[in-house]
Amino acid sequence: MKNKKHLKKLDVQKFVPRISGKDTPPGTVAYIGKPRTEKTKIELIEYNEAEVTEHVIEHIGQLKPFLSNDKLKWIRVTGVHDVDLISGLGELFQINQLELEDVTNTSQRPRMEERPGYIFLVFKALLLNPVDKEVSIEQVSIILGENYVLSFHETEPELFDTLRQRILKGKGRVRKMRSDYLAFALSDIIIDQYFLILEDIGDNIEEIENELILNPGGANQESIYRLKRRLVYVGRTVWPVRELINEVERSDHPLIHEESRIYFRNIYDHTVQIIETLDSLRDLTSSMMDLYLSSVSLKLNEIMKVLTIFSALFIPLTFFAGVYGMNFKFLPELEWQWGYPIFWIFCVVVTVFMLFYFKRRKWM
C-alpha cells in the first residue's frame, strides 16, 4: 500500500483534445479548461545587460509605453481564462487569432507555429508535487517576438521563479542574450521537469519491484498499472516536444539566431535522452507485470502443492475409514480386542511412509 500512496492520478483531460463548440468559426478565442475565478495577472520584467526592472501590469494600456524602448521584455500572463484580456494582448502584439485560440485551449498538443514577426510555441509542463507526489499538467504557451517574450500560464508560474531570480540578479548569460535565448531558458526548465517525473517513476519502480519479490499482492498490480499509464502520458508529452525543439533548432526564422541554436540543440538531446529513458522504464514496467504474474502463479502453485500433499495423505486413510465404516455385520476385524489401536497405528505408519516417500522424491 506504500506505493499506492505515491501514485496519484494525472489529469487525463489535459491529453484529450477539445473544442469550444461545433458551430464556432476558426480563430474563436474561448477558454477550454478547468473553471477558474481568480483574476488574470500580468507581470513585466524588462532588462538589458546593464539594468532590470519589474512591474505589475493592472491593465493592457500600461504595457504600451514599455514597448517603445529597446529593452528585452518578459511578459508573464498568469491565467488564460480571461479571453477579453488575451484578445487585447493579441491586438497589442498583433498575434493571429488562431494562436490566441490555442492559448486559451488548454488541451492543445505541443507544437510550433512560425508567423511574420513572431514564433508561437506550446508546451505541456509536468509538475511533480514534492509532498504528495501528485503530477499536475499545465499548458505553457510562449510567443517569441523581436524584443519580447510572452508566456501564458494557467496558474502561478512558480516553476520559472529560478529564471526570474537569475534575470533580477544578473546571473548567467540570460541578460546578455536576445529574446530567443529567453525562450530557450523557459523551454529548458519545462524539459528538466520531465527528468524529475522520470526519476520519481524510477524510484517507484524500484520500490514496487522489491515488494513484488517479497510479497506480491493486489496493490502492486494497481501500482504497476498506474506507472504504465503515467509513462504513456509522459511519452505523449515528450514526443511532440521533441519535434517542436527540432523545428526550432532547424528554423530559418530571423528570430532564431545562430548563437542560440546550440542551446536548442542541447535540449533536443535532452528530449532524446528522455525518450530513451521512457522506453527503458516501459520495458521495466512490462517486466514487472510479468514478474507479478509469475510471483502470484508461483504462490498459487505453492498453496496447491500443500493442499495436494494433504489430500494425498488422506486418500489411504479415507479408504480404510470407508472400509471399516461399512454396515456389514460380519467384518472379521470388528471383534478384535486391539482392532481400534491397530487401525490407528496402521494409519500413522502409512502417513509417515508417504511423507518419507514425498520427501525422498523431493515433492515437498
Domains and CATH numbers, the chain: 2-294 (3.30.460.20), 324-360 (no CATH)
pLDDT value of position 153: 94
- Distances, alpha carbon 238 to alpha carbons 46, 185, 235, 305, in Å: 31, 17, 5, 48
pLDDT value of position 18: 59
pLDDT value of position 19: 59
Question: Position 81: which residue type?
Answer: H
Closest CA to 27 of 90, 71, 77: 90
Q: How confident is the prediction for the chain on average, in pLDDT?
A: 85
Mean pLDDT of 53-70: 89
For residues 110 and 201, give the distance between their C-alpha atoms in angstroms, rounded to a whole number: 22
Rounded to a whole number of angstroms, the CA Rg of the chain reads 34
Question: Position 118: which residue type?
Answer: Y
Across 336-348, b (16+ Cβ under 10 Å) vs e yields: eeeeeeebeeebe
Q: Which residue has the higher pLDDT, 301 or 55?
A: 55
Query: Which position has the grid cell 511412509?
Result: 353
Query: Which position has the grid cell 477539445?
Result: 18
Q: Mind listing the pLDDT tens digit for each residue in 209-239?
A: 887 777 766 557 777 888 888 888 888 888 8
Q: Mind listing the pLDDT tens digit for each residue in 149-193?
A: 999 999 888 889 999 999 999 888 899 999 999 999 999 999 999
* pLDDT tops 80 at residue 72: yes
DSSP string, 292-342: HHHHHHHHHHHHHHHHHHHHHHHHHHHHHHHHTTS--TT-GGGG-TTHHHH
pLDDT value of position 20: 57
DSSP string, 226-278: HHHHHHHHHHHHHHHHHHHHHHHHH---TTS-HHHHHHHHHHHHHHHHHHHHH
Indicate the range of 69-78, 79-88, 116-125, 277-286 predicted with least confidence. 277-286
Is residue 294 very low, low, confident or very high in pLDDT (cuts 50, 70, 90)? Answer: confident
Mean pLDDT of 201-213: 82
Q: Mind listing the pLDDT tens digit for each residue in 79-132?
A: 999 999 999 999 999 999 999 999 999 888 899 999 999 999 999 998 887 777
* pLDDT tops 90 at residue 206: no
pLDDT value of position 218: 58
pLDDT value of position 2: 44
Please state the three-class secondary structure of 340-363 as a single string.
HHHHHHHHHHHHHHHHHHHHHCCC
- Burial of residue 109, with CB atoms counted within 10 A of its CB: 0-12 exposed, 13-18 middle, 19 or more buried: middle
- Cell reading at 318: 479415507
Indicate the range of 38-42, 113-117, 323-327 predicted with least confidence. 323-327
Half-sphere exposure of 284 (CA within 13 A, CB side): 19
* pLDDT tops 80 at residue 198: yes
Strand pairing class (135-144; 118-128): antiparallel
Mean pLDDT of 275-283: 89
pLDDT value of position 363: 76
